Amino acid sequence: MGLNVIKILIAVILVVVTVNLYFLSVILTQETDSSGKTANKIIKQELKYKSNIKRFDEKKALKNNDFEQSVEINTTLVATKKILATVKNIKYFYKSLSGYKSTRTQFKTILNDFTKSIPISVSSESLWNTARKWVDRRGLLPLRGSHMLSNILDTLSTVKIFKADNISKGTQLKIMLTLEGGQKALFKPQWYFRDEIITGPVFAGRDRHNGEVAAFYLSAILNMRRAPITVGRKVHLKQELLPVATSSLLDTFYEEDTKTCFYGICYYCQPKKGVCSDDSGMLEGAVILWLPSHLQLKKYRHPWQRSYRTGVIARWELDNEYCKKVRKISMYSHGPRLLDLIDTAMFDFLIDNGDRHHYEVFSSDNYSTVLLLDNGKSFGNPHEDHIDILAPLYQCCRIRQSTWSQLWSLRGGELSNQLSQLLHKSQISPVLTAPHLSALDRRLDIILAAIHVCIKERNGQEHVFVID
């Protein structure tokens, strides 16, 4: 009996190796046009982190009679090939599809909301109360046409700081600010210069403060009102933070040449390895409006979470039927939750955020939207596209028609154009470099190509688009 088991295990391993070598050889020998070169580059990148199938637990598979999964090909590589083969012809595929509408008129409204403050004589406390009233089960921002938003953004980037304290929870350095009027806000400091490129896996590096800012503005353009209000701000450490810092935060400050630095308290925070001001004493950061205290958040593990271990592949990367299994779970079988996660996947792909291992909703409402919190691991490398972030989309092949219409109307450079206009007024402008803006347009075409692949494989848009 033991000999038979060994023979089965050896046979399975040989099948895994043979199947993967075959499909990889097919993928890597594609034509050498521009889309083929792009596909090869991305596939080689995926291989670096994902192709170590030998780590599959054969003993567990034998016990659970789960050999079918062990011989499945890497679904990310297959999806990548299909999607990138479609990208170059994407403009021809949607001519007959309904749902297109121009966003130019919409954008004029957004631009006014974000950049044109109205003369008012109200306290900062009144502005914070207005922002709290905007929060509902489906979003954190007002519907378009609220000019008070620009006033709140201006106030958030200039108002006096009354207190600064450590936030020990989490892996990244951040501090809690208490602003004039009693409003709390999170401050994420600058670690990188704009043109620095983060290499390695998609979750590599420290948080990018400018990524948090750009992600908020992008969420408004996409009509995903689910990212917290965020602005870029320059803070003078000695004049604005040191006088109001708690003793525990003060203990982490130090001088380095002519610069003032601090390292805070967090999982990865280390003494003398903090962030520093420039020679004038200023430090850039993202200031993120804290959500209303009466609304408690509930955290869920993301069904498409990465393994975060080199060479270890998550189940969704191997199982082509994975979405069907997810949809058997009650919270994803009905209601907006799954569609929210698919929207989130497209948003994350645009900003190159592959680190959404958990997600949050308001605990008091089963139909609460999936919030777009913690977008710091974004805009790390403008030259790479991690297509596996789109797994919820290309595995489930479901998307809100309103989301598709919004995305389609932003192609051809419209997305980067609108975002650059919104970000121009930021205190830390330029927020994104030209390569990052260009990457947004390229990734948008990849999303549209993934949707087209779904329409083709599901025999029509009526089996993919959802009206809710």
DSSP state of 20: H
| Residue 59 or residue 267, greater confidence | 267
Whether the Cβ atoms of residue 345 and residue 392 lie closer than 8 Å to each other: yes
Give the pLDDT band (50/70/90) at residue 34.
very low
How much is the pLDDT for 106?
Answer: 85
Q: State the average pLDDT over residues 443-463.
A: 94
Using CB atoms within 10 Å of the CB of residue 307, give its burial: 0 to 12 exposed, 13 to 18 middle, 19+ buried: middle
Whether the Cβ atoms of residue 444 and residue 346 lie closer than 8 Å to each other: no
Q: State the average pLDDT over residues 392-400.
A: 97
Q: What is the mean pLDDT of the chain?
A: 85
Q: State the average pLDDT over residues 176-201.
A: 96
Same domain, 281 and 316: no
- The answer to whether residue 87 is domain-embedded is no
- The answer to whether residue 85 is domain-embedded is no
Closest CA to 232 of 277, 278, 184, 288: 288
Helix (H, G, I), strand (E, B) or coil at 342: helix
For 152-183, what is each residue's pLDDT tens digit?
999 999 999 999 999 988 899 999 999 999 99
pLDDT at 99 over 60: no
- The answer to whether residue 227 is domain-embedded is yes
User: Is residue 355 annotated as part of the catalytic site, yes or no?
Assistant: yes
Whether the Cβ atoms of residue 403 and residue 219 lie closer than 8 Å to each other: no
CB proximity list for 338: less than 8 A, separation 6 or greater? 326, 327, 332, 392, 396, 398
Phi then psi for residue 79, to 5 deg, are -65, -40
Measured CA to CA, the distance from residue 405 to residue 429 in angstroms comes to 30
| Angle, CA of 349, 343 and 288, to the nearest 5° | 75
Same domain, 308 and 203: no
Same domain, 195 and 258: yes
Same domain, 108 and 65: no
Using CB atoms within 10 Å of the CB of residue 356, give its burial: 0 to 12 exposed, 13 to 18 middle, 19+ buried: buried
Q: State the average pLDDT over residues 377-402.
A: 96
- For the ranges 21-35, 93-107, 143-157, 453-467, which has the lowest average pLDDT? 21-35
Same domain, 315 and 356: yes
Give the pair of three-digit tokens for residue 453. Answer: 């692949």
CB proximity list for 188: less than 8 A, separation 6 or greater? 172, 173, 174, 207, 209, 212, 285, 286, 288, 376
Helix (H, G, I), strand (E, B) or coil at 73: coil
For β-strands 465-466 and 399-400, DSSP reports them as: parallel
Measured CA to CA, the distance from residue 341 to residue 462 in angstroms comes to 20
Using CB atoms within 10 Å of the CB of residue 315, give its burial: 0 to 12 exposed, 13 to 18 middle, 19+ buried: middle
CB proximity list for 303: less than 8 A, separation 6 or greater? 316, 326, 329, 332, 341, 392
Whether the Cβ atoms of residue 167 and residue 244 lie closer than 8 Å to each other: no
Same domain, 321 and 234: no
**Partners of 189 in the β-ladder:** 285
Count of other CB atoms within 10 angstroms of residue 73: 17
Same domain, 389 and 309: yes
How much is the pLDDT for 256?
Answer: 93
- The answer to whether residue 79 is domain-embedded is no
Domain limit, last residue, from 289, 306, 323: 289
How much is the pLDDT for 144?
Answer: 76
Give the pLDDT band (50/70/90) at residue 68.
very low
Same domain, 203 and 305: no
pLDDT at 32 over 60: no
Domain limit, last residue, from 235, 268, 289: 289
Same domain, 283 and 307: no
- The answer to whether residue 80 is domain-embedded is no
Residue in 113, 352, 355, 388 annotated catalytic: 355
Give the pair of three-digit tokens for residue 361. Answer: 């909703």
For 257-305, what is each residue's pLDDT tens digit?
999 999 999 999 999 899 999 999 999 999 999 999 889 999 999 999 9
Q: Which helix (H) or strand (E) holds 287?
A: strand 282-289
- For the ranges 86-95, 286-295, 351-360, which has the lowest average pLDDT? 86-95
For 131-153, what is each residue's pLDDT tens digit?
999 999 899 998 877 779 999 99
- For the ranges 18-22, 229-233, 248-252, 439-443, which has the lowest average pLDDT? 18-22
How much is the pLDDT for 44?
Answer: 46
Same domain, 209 and 123: yes
Measured torsion, CA atoms of residues 200, 29, 77, 463, in degrees rounded to the nearest 10: 140
Give the pair of three-digit tokens for residue 446. Answer: 């990849």
pLDDT at 241 over 80: yes
- The answer to whether residue 406 is domain-embedded is yes
pLDDT at 59 over 70: no
pLDDT at 69 over 70: no
- The answer to whether residue 77 is domain-embedded is no
pLDDT at 116 over 80: yes
Q: Give me the domain span that covers residue 177.
A: 104-289
CB proximity list for 52: less than 8 A, separation 6 or greater? 310, 311, 312, 313
Domains contained in the chain, number: 3
What separation, in Å, do the N-terminal and C-terminal C-alpha atoms of the chain show?
56
For 311-320, what is each residue's pLDDT tens digit?
888 999 988 8
Give the pLDDT band (50/70/90) at residue 13.
low
- The answer to whether residue 86 is domain-embedded is no
Same domain, 29 and 175: no
Count of other CB atoms within 10 angstroms of residue 221: 20
pLDDT at 36 over 80: no
Same domain, 250 and 317: no
Whether the Cβ atoms of residue 420 and residue 369 lie closer than 8 Å to each other: no
How much is the pLDDT for 3?
Answer: 58
Measured CA to CA, the distance from residue 101 to residue 408 in angstroms comes to 8
pLDDT at 43 over 80: no
Q: State the average pLDDT over residues 65-71.
A: 35
Give the pair of three-digit tokens for residue 245. Answer: 């810092």
Give the pair of three-digit tokens for residue 12. Answer: 């399975």
Scan for tokens 């919104």, then name that residue: 422
Helix (H, G, I), strand (E, B) or coil at 239: helix
Whether the Cβ atoms of residue 348 and residue 356 lie closer than 8 Å to each other: yes
Phi then psi for residue 287, to 5 deg, are -110, 120
Q: State the average pLDDT over residues 180-208.
A: 96
